[in-house]
Structure 1
Amino acid sequence: MKKYLLLFVVLTVFTFDGFTQENPLQKFSFLIGNWEGTGSGFSASKSVIHSEFKWVLNNNFIEVKNHSEFEPTSNGSNGEIHDDRGMISFDKERNVYVFRQFHNEGYYNRYILNDSLSTKESFVFETEFIENFVPGGRARFTINVKNDFEIETVFDVGFPGKEMACFGTNQLKRKEDQ
């Protein structure tokens, strides 16, 4: 009888524990969907941006896709295309949110969420590693939630020995056709 009681208790604990564990990425679930908008900065150029955030791999990751088309500038640029792909995950061992981002220009940024700077309305990711950039350089990617249908993303860059400076911003609205 004691064996059955112990088995019942163990199964009950594991069963309820499985139901109570919330996905740690749930705090970013408002991002899921398609977004469109405009950007400014980025070498004084204006852009049109399309972004997509979606759950992937059994909801263990959030995949991020950004596509920007920059207008020609007065300094002779014919306009540019920027694409980046990334994944947001939760590192259980370090208890941190990680955003890995790959850029078509050859850069790779590995950001971690800075909890001391982040709020419910603002998520601040700061690089812990950058590949193919100036040694000692750093970057910050911030998502500001304006409301359920609008976000702003801000990309700041810091060169060695210099303060962080805004490199560009994007104003995005949730697409209606979701």
Structure 2
Amino acid sequence: MKTKILILIIFILNCGLSFGQSTQFDKINFIIGQWSGTGSGFGNDSSTIESSFELVMDGKYIEVQNDSRFEPTEKNPEGEHHIDKGFISYDKRRQLIVYRQFNNEGYINQYVLNDSLSNGTKLVFESEIIENFVPGGKARWTIEKKSDTQIETTFDVSFPNKDYTCLGVNKLTKK
């Protein structure tokens, strides 16, 4: 009987601890909101970007939307339009924050938040799966809080047996 009571108490305490924080996204909630700004890199001198990070489905997910428009260049006189959408979720089994991203170039990325590189002002998402990219290639997306109303995002890629290279940086202001 004592064993059953002890198991019940442990179960109740465990449930209380897992539901004690207001959301599994507390450590990344500084990104929540609507953002706009400019970018550089990505094979272009400048771009404008609109981003949003919104809690959806009773706060179980963060819906991510990025819409970038790149200025025309000599090589690309029409400019470019990049769209990506995705969801950030919490994988209870692995106890990891996961970001699944789909973009109009046909790449599908699944990132996990690297807790050892992340902190209260910096989030580092590293790819664990990339569809339609160079086999063995990797991607890293970093979001850094500059102030309560400003963030900076950096997108890095790595080809097999190579170090990461920065493809572009976005500076965003909260609307």
TM-score (norm 1): 0.87
Task: After TM superposition, list the pairs within 5 Å mapping 1:23-102 onto structure 2.
Answer: 23-102=23-102
Structure (1 or 2) with the larger CA radius of gyration: 1
Runs of 4+ deviating beyond 3 Å: none
1:160 lines up with 2:160 in the alignment: yes
Is the 1:45–1:72 contact (alpha carbons within 8 Å) kept by the matching residues of 2? Answer: no
Going from structure 1 to structure 2, the CA distance change for 1:143 and 1:56 (only over 3 Å counts) comes to same
Structure 2 SS opposite 1:39: strand
Is the 2:55–2:61 contact (alpha carbons within 8 Å) kept by the matching residues of 1? Answer: yes
CA RMSD of aligned residues (A): 1.9
Distance 1:21 1:143 in 2: 22
User: Which residue identity is paired with 2:150?
Assistant: E
Is the 2:28–2:120 contact (alpha carbons within 8 Å) kept by the matching residues of 1? Answer: no
Distance 1:44 1:37 in 2: 15
Cα shift at 1:21 = 4.4
Distance 2:116 2:156 in 1: 17
Unaligned runs of 5+ in 1: 1-5
Count of matched residue pairs: 165
1:140 lines up with 2:174 in the alignment: no
Distance 1:46 1:57 in 2: 35
Going from structure 1 to structure 2, the CA distance change for 1:119 and 1:21 (only over 3 Å counts) comes to closer
The percentage of counterpart residues that share the same residue type is 52
TM-score (norm 2): 0.88
Task: After TM superposition, list the pairs within 5 Å mapping 1:97-176 onto structure 2.
Answer: 97-175=97-175
